[in-house]
Structure 1
Amino acid sequence: MSMRFGRRAVPAPPPAVEPPRRLNRPWTLSVPLGAPPDRVLAYLATPARMADWLVMHTGWPAPPPGAMAEGGRFAQRVKLMGTPVEVRWTVRGLSDRTVWLDGTGPMGIEVGLYLSVAPADGGALVRLDGGVQGGPTDGPLGPMVARSLTDALRSSLQRLSQVSPERWSHAKPTATVSPALINREKSGKIVHRETGREIDPWTPVIVGSAQRVERFHHPGGSDPLTLAVHAMRDADSSTYQAGNNLVRSADTVGWVASVSWQFADGAALLAERLGARPAQTVQTGLFGGDGPLRLLNDIAAAIARGETRIALLGGAEAAATAAAAEGARRRLDWPKQRGSAAPTRVLGIDREPNNTAETAAGLTSPLHVYALIESALRRRDGLSVDAHRKKITEIWSRMSEVAAGNGCAWLPQVRTAAELAAPDRDNRPVSGPYTKLLTANLQVNQATGMIVCSAEAAREAGIGQQNWTFVHAGAHATDEWFVTERADLTTSPALRAVGRAVLGHAGLTIDDIRYLDLYACFPSAVQIAAAELGVPDDDPDRPLTVTGGLTFAGGPGNNYASHAVVNLISRLRHDPGSYGLATAVGWYMTKHAATVLSTHPPAAEFRDIDADVRLHRPTRKVASHADETGVLEGYTVTYRRDGTPEAGIVTEILDDGTRVVRATEPLDGDPFAGPPVPLPPPGEPPVVVEWHGPVTEIRLNRPAVRNAVDLATARALERAIDDFEADPDARVAVLTGAGPVFCAGMDLRAAARGEYPITEGRGLLGLTGKPPKKPLIAAVEGAALAGGFELALAADLIVAAEDALFGIPEVKRGLVAAAGGVLRLARSLPRATALELALTGDPMPARRLHDLGLINRVTPVGKAYETAFDLASSIAAHPALAVLLAKRIVDEQSDWTTAEAFDHLSEMAGAVLGSASFDLRKADRERS
């Protein structure tokens, strides 16, 4: 094989050294260059230079090493047959004449690249030998893949021949071996010396952690950014053993959003102060104590995927300084950013915290909500006021004992249960049964810094394994968003799911966890967490915290869980091989996250698990008033600063399961005195979800009103669709209705009360504005009218019983089908038929719409769901990526020009061929 540049043919010379490996589909290419061989080799042996000459290059998942070294490994993003993929390179050999790279790509594809440089005619002759094998390249696609690679490399050498002389002159010859890379295992694995286990180089480890406290109230105190910089420098100081500054090498910086002083992109400011130049910045949502663990878990997952190599995680609050400045009427001159500043990514959920009924009753402060939950716990446990007070003050007293030994605690002082139970000037009642010292203390100045990196980066930096803390598993989930809509105030299905997820993935039970830190903003939060995780709240051998809780250790806005992780790391390093678990909570036991840590390596690759998937959340209807009296479920009394009662807030459960929340006068005595009365169970959920392997059934469940959609139903439907899309095991969903009618559309009575079924994410009816990307089949019995027809039209396929009727009667009411009905009909039916439906408002039978191509299958009465399920199962049997891309082509093709269409088709075909789901042998069998 030879390359022709201009009129001169250049024969491929023998390599400087014979290639050490021949792959199945080889190539040999060469090009003469007018530069000294040592300069050429230095240029080629610098990974960052690949972007200049390798035409396949598209980017780096993490910063490449400055120069190649034998045994070194780095990841690169390239285009293979038009599809972006990631290749992980290993430098198998390096000399003063050659560079030998072995790469692995998707589906087991192996690539060998052997560059040799020899003197020639006052310059250098570069020869590029190599080959490809494995995966689909071993079958009939092999020639196509090899030809694509050869063409790309030929173009790359041509580009190399056009490099300017100035660039060659700046290329410096490099040493053949980097001291930091000596003694690496040839397999690429890292051996954990204490356990003898092999570790994947991309295993996430925490190698530096520190916290800071500034215990004074003064207007001139530090701002959050300055505190975080100090903490991060403290964390970095422990990594200097080999003279490497990991902070400056970070490719990702994360920031836990500060409440006391908000930054548009706090991570960028932190990076600037530290001299880091990250490729991306990540920030948590504005409000949520789950943020630190969400951030840690997200970054650990990015490292495990090879997208991040070194990350800095910072967070801080200076609320004590801010409060002092406000008291002194002094303006804070703290760091600000331009309005255009924004992080690369924002984690978590931010939305309004309260529904209308809660707002009307004054149940809006976390203090009041957790106090009300506390009373519901007392009712459930059947405790008297005194017995309950003794229980929660003893839990909090044990928190203070831990804080007293925490050098960075805000209030490092032991408080007895008796002291916590006795109201006084420093412990005034705030919201019964809580006094001030039973609540989160937010006016603190505290900060944390953590350095998280791959095991490979830690080893390259020379950080001893005794300073590695492995992140084993992370998970997050959300309870029903509005507190009063939850079936039970005293439980947390989401936290239970999170605990099961992290322990299950780590291969542990709760009894294997030696150190705990349960998010301790209020006693009720700790009691619920302990119950859901299955741990006693009074075990002297395993306290519920290693930090001290948000009262005594301090409640730095969203960042408490970062302090918990730092303290867990300290305990784990002093007790090698033990396990630690931290939990974190956002809003009112709403958003949950958890992380498992250990100094021993994990048994499985780290995962950040979305435990919302397939999570059952029973709900209640909620009202702000009722004509009848229900069973008292919970109550709290709020107090003025002078300790006098101000108002009461109660929740009651009516016979039909509805929860009523309302403001009252302060309650006297003990409303729970006397024999306990069982709480009426919640009513039927408006949407029921069932999982049948890869097929998800989503059933509208309001047969009494013909499955009309109110706001609660729309929200439940949106949640069901969101969970279906997020579920990796769910392939196809079937949407159906309970009873004889599919759906009568919008609940007009609810709409008349101002409760319109519009959700933030998916629009009208909780679906029509943004249908799922995965296939959705509507199974229709009876009628699908108005919004019901629009729900069916939002599905990809429709299966209908032979007596089913479909119509959009809005025009008869002076309305228009605003959830996409007219639009989707116009795109799916002949113009005359679409106009007939839209202008007359009269329904059409399923058979006629089937003949016009709108309905896929017509079944006997009562068989629509069964047929839809069979259709879903047949679709789910195919590889998911192929199904999704086929659906995408059908959905998007009308917006493509002819030229764009074939570009898109080529990209999608390459994605399928490069995916793990492509079954080459099956394709061969079916073709033959």
Structure 2
Amino acid sequence: MAPGIGVPEFLPINQRPVHSSRRVTASARFVGMTVPRTLDPRTPVLVGYGQVNQRQEKPEVEPVDLMVAAARAAADPRVLEAVDSVRIVNLLSWHYRDPGLLLAQRIRAAKAATRYTGVGGNVPQTLVNEACRDLRSGRAEVVLIAGAETWRTRSRLRARGIKPEWTRQDESVPEAPGAHDGVPMAGEAELRINLDRPAYVYPMFEQALRIAGGETSDEHRRRIGELWSRFSAVAADNPHAWSSDAVPAEQIWQPGPDNRMISWPYTKLMNSNNMVDQGAVLVLTTVEKATYLQIPSDRWVFPYAGTDSHDTYAIGERDELYRSPAIRIAGRRVLELAGVSADEVDFVDVYSCFPSAVQVAAAEIGLPLADPSRPLTVTGGLTFAGGPWNNYVSHSIATMAERLVANPGSRGLITANGGYLTKHSFGVYGTEPPTHEFRCQDVQSEVDAEPTRQLQVDFVGTGTVESWTTPVGRDGTAERAFLAVRTPEDARTLARTSTSRRPRRRSPRTSPGPRFKCTPTAARRCSSVPPIPAGRARGPRRWSAGWADDSTGTRVSGSCGTRCLPTPRRTGPSAAC
């Protein structure tokens, strides 16, 4: 473990806190802000927000070290010592039984209770919503929310066969409560065919968006490349972003040596970047406590409202793959609770693990995708600013706070997403003191009342492909195909086909299932994608690429939900199962 020093040397100079020894007078405390005398003293306020990037080769630096560094960047030591609740976002780089205990000890928060969380990119905003309720009710006085990942360092050590010498907590340390909170990540149908990675599922949403929009593959890829290019431009101006390069759209949507295809239509630069070492901390308290601790009010940011909700975790049961009732209901409700419209928020950060997540959320909430005066990110997104697993939104909230205090009177919207467009959390923030108490509302019953689609796990028959994706290996060959298929009764089934480097035709008598056949209704509508290099797209690999369909006309017959071995392509894609 790295030494517990005041400000770690790896913290960039421009991110190190400046602590003043002078007492802040009442007039100085409220510079730039008029705090109404009628303001409830228990009004929640965000008073500290710190971020840190660890770019140097320092294998001794572990996640808790980054949390300590971010905490010291967020708040004065006396504020940290006043923390009575430490809540840690679930981390994947290392296992601690109670990471909050380690952090509390390092920042000398002797009386702090600790809590851990389940997984999900929604967690940081959910923690803010919960903290605001606890502060209002008096269950907490000063809440610190922290998260960090050293995935880049851990991956490099693992590649060299080195085990990190990081802090281990033995069984004498009780596990912090909350680690197993949350809803499941996927349903039976998804798990059965191993459709269990974000890099596979979100491209399925993307294809559904394309088909619903009536776009060709090239039109669509160019458009989402332009969307992501705008995100990269924001990251280039964000001092906390992992990548500071603005990337042209063509370099994003076209595969290349440093931008391989991951799963059609997404290249590497359309995926979240988890190869980062990043940490972020948020500190919330009440107006009364902030005044007592003499925290300058020109750093205050007020959470106005928050909502949480989740869609059905079974992807196959969602009514449409390009819609999210939970985002529509909870995202619009948080704006109503805050008393603003979507047009009235000055800054927005839409959770951006993949382009489809941004497009679905923007459509459901009513946010323009290409408004040059208001990008849909303040950080640059998970590809360019960094995607530290569950903790990205801690960074987006911290960056949002910086943008708001730099523009007094402004308001911002944060959206957060966990799982496969499954778990959602929203928050509206501003620098002006609120005219009402922090508002939150449970909208889950409304979401649960939305229509779903019948899922047929063992469907046998003929159906219509509504979406698909083909994961692509590092050598540029398509590995398999995942498909969402509508049955004649308008139910849905999910299917997977598998390739083999040495395919062989199987006799129907020895096959594990009935024949599985894809016959495009019109050959001109079936394009060969992804763009596999010449000489590699032979046999089953070329077949796997043939699932592209610029309409919804491709039809499938056979037993969906089985794993199939494709035969070489001749007159059309086919497979013996």
TM over 0.5: yes
CA apart distance, 1:342: 4.4
Q: Partner residue of 1:230?
A: 69
CA apart distance, 1:262: 2.4
CA apart distance, 1:488: 1.0
Find the residue that maps to 1:629 and give its secondary structure. strand
Query: Aligned pair 1:417/2:249, yes or no?
Result: yes
Structure 1 contact 267–343 (Cα < 8 Å) conserved: no
Q: Partner residue of 1:433?
A: 265
Question: For 2:115 and 2:452, how far apart are their aligned partners in 1?
Answer: 33
Find the residue that maps to 1:491 and give its secondary structure. coil
Q: Partner residue of 1:271?
A: 104
After TM superposition, the score normalised by the length of structure 2 is 0.80
Query: Aligned pair 1:374/2:214, yes or no?
Result: no
Counterpart amino acid of 1:605? E
Question: For 2:139 and 2:35, how far apart are their aligned partners in 1?
Answer: 27
Question: For 2:394 and 2:124, how far apart are their aligned partners in 1?
Answer: 5
Query: Aligned pair 1:620/2:460, yes or no?
Result: no
Question: For 2:180 and 2:288, how far apart are their aligned partners in 1?
Answer: 29
For residues 733-791 of structure 1, the C-alpha deviation after alignment (integer angstroms, 9 at most, x for no partner) is xxxxxxxxxxxxxxxxxxxxxxxxxxxxxxxxxxxxxxxxxxxxxxxxxxxxxxxxxxx
The alpha-carbon distance between structure 1 residues 284 and 609, as it changes in their structure 2 partners (threshold 3 A), is farther
Q: Partner residue of 1:284?
A: 117
Say which structure is richer in strand. Answer: 1
Question: For 1:675 and 1:556, how far apart are their aligned partners in 2?
Answer: 36
Q: 1:531 aligns with which of 333, 354, 363?
A: 363
Q: 2:38 aligns with which of 194, 198, 202?
A: 198
Query: Aligned pair 1:672/2:542, yes or no?
Result: no
Question: For 1:205 and 1:580, how far apart are their aligned partners in 2?
Answer: 14
Written as runs of structure 1 = structure 2, the 5 A alignment for 1:829-840 is none
Q: Partner residue of 1:246?
A: 79
Q: 2:493 aligns with which of 642, 652, 660?
A: 660
Query: Aligned pair 1:210/2:50, yes or no?
Result: yes
Question: How many residues get paired?
Answer: 487
Query: What's the % identity of the aligned pairs?
Result: 37
Structure 2 contact 211–552 (Cα < 8 Å) conserved: no
Find the residue that maps to 2:445 and give its secondary structure. coil
Written as runs of structure 1 = structure 2, the 5 A alignment for 1:782-797 is none
Find the residue that maps to 2:207 and give its secondary structure. helix
Q: Partner residue of 2:194?
A: 362
For residues 43-70 of structure 1, the C-alpha deviation after alignment (integer angstroms, 9 at most, x for no partner) is xxxxxxxxxxxxxxxxxxxxxxxxxxxx
Written as runs of structure 1 = structure 2, the 5 A alignment for 1:846-925 is none
Q: Partner residue of 1:500?
A: 332
Counterpart amino acid of 1:643? G
Counterpart amino acid of 1:248? E
Question: For 1:267 and 1:499, how far apart are their aligned partners in 2?
Answer: 30
Q: Partner residue of 2:353?
A: 521
Query: Aligned pair 1:405/2:282, yes or no?
Result: no
Runs of 4+ in 1 over 4 A off after TM superposition: 179-184, 190-193, 342-345, 674-678
The alpha-carbon distance between structure 1 residues 348 and 292, as it changes in their structure 2 partners (threshold 3 A), is farther
Written as runs of structure 1 = structure 2, the 5 A alignment for 1:588-627 is 588-615=420-447, 616-627=449-460
The alpha-carbon distance between structure 1 residues 607 and 664, as it changes in their structure 2 partners (threshold 3 A), is same
Question: For 2:172 and 2:184, how far apart are their aligned partners in 1?
Answer: 24
CA apart distance, 1:311: 1.5
Counterpart amino acid of 1:264? R
- Single out whichever of 496-505 and 624-633 deviates more from structure 2: 624-633
The alpha-carbon distance between structure 1 residues 318 and 344, as it changes in their structure 2 partners (threshold 3 A), is closer
Counterpart amino acid of 1:201? P
Question: For 1:528 and 1:340, how far apart are their aligned partners in 2?
Answer: 46
Question: For 2:295 and 2:31, how far apart are their aligned partners in 1?
Answer: 14
CA apart distance, 1:528: 0.3
Q: Partner residue of 1:323?
A: 155
Counterpart amino acid of 1:207? V
Counterpart amino acid of 1:215? R
Structure 1 contact 260–557 (Cα < 8 Å) conserved: no
Structure 2 contact 24–296 (Cα < 8 Å) conserved: no
Q: 1:255 aligns with which of 68, 81, 88?
A: 88
Q: 1:641 aligns with which of 462, 474, 481?
A: 474
For residues 143-169 of structure 1, the C-alpha deviation after alignment (integer angstroms, 9 at most, x for no partner) is xxxxxxxxxxxxxxxxxxxxxxxxxxx
Task: With a CA cutoff of 8 Å and minimum separation of 6, indicate the structure with the bigger relative contact order.
Answer: 2
Question: For 2:111 and 2:380, how far apart are their aligned partners in 1?
Answer: 34
Structure 2 contact 186–196 (Cα < 8 Å) conserved: yes
Q: 2:277 aligns with which of 437, 445, 454?
A: 445
Find the residue that maps to 1:346 and give its secondary structure. coil
Question: For 1:496 and 1:342, how far apart are their aligned partners in 2?
Answer: 39
Question: For 2:395 and 2:126, how far apart are their aligned partners in 1?
Answer: 14
CA apart distance, 1:182: 9.7
Q: Partner residue of 1:824?
A: none
CA apart distance, 1:345: 4.4
CA apart distance, 1:631: 1.8
The alpha-carbon distance between structure 1 residues 673 and 257, as it changes in their structure 2 partners (threshold 3 A), is closer
| Structure (1 or 2) with the larger CA radius of gyration | 1
The alpha-carbon distance between structure 1 residues 401 and 196, as it changes in their structure 2 partners (threshold 3 A), is same
Q: Partner residue of 2:375?
A: 543
The alpha-carbon distance between structure 1 residues 219 and 229, as it changes in their structure 2 partners (threshold 3 A), is closer
Find the residue that maps to 2:313 and give its secondary structure. coil
Question: For 1:675 and 1:633, how far apart are their aligned partners in 2?
Answer: 6
Aligned residues: CA RMSD: 2.4
Question: For 2:287 and 2:25, how far apart are their aligned partners in 1?
Answer: 15
Structure 1 contact 314–450 (Cα < 8 Å) conserved: yes
The alpha-carbon distance between structure 1 residues 677 and 530, as it changes in their structure 2 partners (threshold 3 A), is farther
For residues 75-115 of structure 1, the C-alpha deviation after alignment (integer angstroms, 9 at most, x for no partner) is xxxxxxxxxxxxxxxxxxxxxxxxxxxxxxxxxxxxxxxxx
The alpha-carbon distance between structure 1 residues 571 and 639, as it changes in their structure 2 partners (threshold 3 A), is same
Counterpart amino acid of 1:607? R
Q: 1:474 aligns with which of 274, 289, 306?
A: 306
CA apart distance, 1:362: 2.5
